[in-house]
Each structure stands twice: as structure tokens, then as C-alpha cells.
Amino acid sequence: MAQSIFIFGRQAKIGLAELTSITGSAALKTIAQGQVALANLTIKDPQAYLNQLGGSVKLLKLIADFKDEKILLNTMFNQLPSQPAKLFFGISYLGPSSIHQRLKQIKQWGMQLKKLLKGRKQGARFVSSRDPLLSSVIVRKNKLLSEAGKELVVMANKPHEFYLGETLAVQDFAAYSARDYGRPARDPKRGSLPPKLAQIMLNLAQVKPGQTIYDPCCGQGTILQEALLKGVTAIGSDLDHVAITASETNLAWLIKQGHLSKPDYQLFKADASKNERKLPPLDAIVTEGSLGPPLRKPPSKAQAEKLLAESITLITSILSTKRPFLKPGGRVIICLPYYQTDQGWLDPAPTFQNKLTSLGFTATTAPLLYQREQQLIGRQIWSLKLTLD
């Protein structure tokens, strides 16, 4: 079986959890400080495979692994094709050494390879950036995924353990951006989940085409949208009729794009904490819940505890009222707010964990933290299943 390599985004632990859920295999080996996973997988359409993963930014094929760094340059050179047109090539380097050291090494390899290519009379342009991992935008804009280009990725694991890969697909940043900022009903003040995170949550729920998910706090419909894109039936409700209208508008827009074969969804207004309506059997409940009001400065610890208690109350009421509709084996993926207070971070785990047992749910893994730099509210993602499954 071929070795495929996944490079995770900034939240590498979440990328790994998602990939593990999708591949369902223990045959993943993480390298380069957890930023990369090697998988025994033969992938027919790398771009389509990567497009379903919100937590991975690149998909590569393994070219070779090494104990001796000295043969790396030659192996890289052998990967660069001879062609009449100018060759565009770039190198990314992941590993434990500093960004400065890695950039220096990349520059050196680039110069050496250009010299070797010149000897072969191959015109070439070396593409570099200020980041030792070339971004998806740079890879695409510089044609590194085209016939005329190549991105090689060096991954150092231990002092004498190197891997060389070739990039086959990069994250489709334009599609994510269109599904986020391109939607007709988008109100940043209301707080919206990034589509990548919605995709990750659905993958953690291991939902398959034809199954049904429910988001009882659907807001502008990001989770529902990503579910429809997976061929999953999406049921959404919200307390706020403005949110329902926004979801309706956004889903109609998505359907108009024409990427969905049989979009199947249902929207209604309801208080998620109550049992107002009979639901069909659910394969998963996937919801962000409410993360509280937007914050401009770190709240006091007491304030954050109050906000957290409100979020936990909502989530626990969702768990108890919707539990009867979950199919055996059904999953629940939820987010809890992770506040940066004026006295440090407030971890919701101890309080929430205590409530879970009496609600009849068990966490399937340790909670995962999704947090962008300088955000005052992170999201703690929980994967739950019924205790008696």
C-alpha cells in the first residue's frame, strides 16, 4: 500500500483526531512533532480526499525516508523533471529546528538544486517564502501543483530520521473562503463557526452519506451546510427566527451552486433546551451551542465562570432532551467555550465531565482545543457517545 502523508493545519491535534476518525485506522504514524501523519493509504483522488478534511492543509506522497541527510539533495534533484518549459519548484521543511535554521537550509538546498538544474540546462525558478512551510496559496499561485512545477517537503523527525514527500494536493482556500465569506447571510457579530471546523466536527462524528445530523443551535447554518456537502441529511433549529432565515438563505445559496446531488434538510424555530418537537432517529448531534457574547478584553474569572455555567446549562439540556432521539451508536460533538480570563484560561472540562456521567454520556476521547491566536474565547470540542452503547 502506498504511503500518504498529511500535513495538519495550525491545530495539529485536531487534524490528527479528524484524520483518525476518517481513516478509522491505527496505521497512522505522527512525525515532525505531531505536525505530520504518515498513513498506509492508497488515495485515488488526492484533492477530493483533502477537500473533506478541515484539519489538514496538504496531502503528499512519500518519496523516500532516510537515515543519512547527505543523500537528501540527490533524491530531491532526481524528483525534478527535465522539461522544455521553465520549472517552478519549492521546498518546505518541517522539523524540530528553528524557523531561521530551516529557512537557511531551504535556501541552501534551493541554490544547490538550481545549480544542478543549470548543469542539466533546465531553466528553473525557485519559490520560497518567509515560512518554512509554503502556504497553500503560494503553492497554487506559483504553479507548484501544475505540470510545470513541484513542491518537495522535507520532514525531520529525529536526528537521523528524515522523510521526503511530494505535494499532491493543498487545501482549497478559495472554496473555504467562498463557503464562509461568500455566503449571502453572514453576520460576523452573531458569531459563526469556520466551515473547516464544522467539517472537522462532522468528521469526528463519523457521519456517512445518507445519515442524519441535528444542530439545535444552527445559527447561520455552517454545520448544516457542511453536512449537506457530505451527502448527509441536515436538521437545524434555533431559538432566533433571524438565524433560521439566515440558515435558509445560506442553504438555498449553497444548493444554487449546484455541487449537491440530493440536498435534504429541515429547519425550524425551537428552544434547544426543551423537548418541543419529535425528531427522526439521529446518527449524530453536532452543535457549537452558544459561546456567550463577543469579548473585547479578558473577562474576570467570576464573569467567565458565569458565562461558562450558562453554556454548560444549555449543552446539558440539549443532551438530556435530545438523547432519546439518538440512534444506538450515535455520536454527539459539541463545543464549550474556553475563556481567557484576567487570571488565565478557564478550563471547562472539570465541570462538564462531572455532569456527563449522570446524563448517560461518555467522552470518546480527551477534549480538543480549537483556538486561534489572540482569541479570548477558544472552543473545547467534545466527542461523546451514549454510555450504554
Ligand X SMILES: C[S@@+](CC[C@H](N)C(=O)[O-])C[C@H]1O[C@@H](n2cnc3c(N)ncnc32)[C@H](O)[C@@H]1O
Residues that bind ligand X (CB under 6 A): 191-193, 216-217, 219-223, 238-240, 243, 271-273, 288, 290-291, 314
Residue nearest to ligand X (CB): 219
Q: 134 or 243, CB closer to ligand X?
A: 243
Least separation, in Å, of the C-beta of 154 and ligand X? Answer: 37
Give the separation between CA 205 and CA 208, rounded to whole angstroms: 9
**Burial of 45 from C-beta contacts in 10 A (0-12 / 13-18 / 19+):** exposed
Least separation, in Å, of the C-beta of 221 and ligand X? Answer: 6
Q: 151 or 238, CB closer to ligand X?
A: 238
Q: 191 or 231, CB closer to ligand X?
A: 191
Q: 273 or 303, CB closer to ligand X?
A: 273
Residues in the chain: 389
CA proximity to 332, closest of 322, 342, 347, 341: 322
| Amino acid, res. 378 | G
Least separation, in Å, of the C-beta of 28 and ligand X? Answer: 29
Least separation, in Å, of the C-beta of 13 and ligand X? Answer: 21
DSSP 298: P
Least separation, in Å, of the C-beta of 227 and ligand X? Answer: 12
**Burial of 127 from C-beta contacts in 10 A (0-12 / 13-18 / 19+):** buried
Contact 216, 287 (CB under 8 A): yes
Q: 110 or 195, CB closer to ligand X?
A: 195
SS3 31: strand
Contact 288, 193 (CB under 8 A): yes
Q: 153 or 381, CB closer to ligand X?
A: 381
What CA dihedral angle connects 98, 102, 107 and 108, to 10 degrees? 110
Residue with cell 440539549: 318
Do the bridges between strand 233-238 and strand 265-269 make them parallel or antiparallel, or are there none, so unpaired? Answer: parallel
Least separation, in Å, of the C-beta of 337 and ligand X? Answer: 10
Contact 50, 59 (CB under 8 A): yes
Least separation, in Å, of the C-beta of 170 and ligand X? Answer: 25
Least separation, in Å, of the C-beta of 235 and ligand X? Answer: 13
Q: 321 or 362, CB closer to ligand X?
A: 321
Contact 232, 212 (CB under 8 A): yes
Q: 149 or 299, CB closer to ligand X?
A: 299
Give the separation between CA 176 and CA 198, rounded to whole angstroms: 11
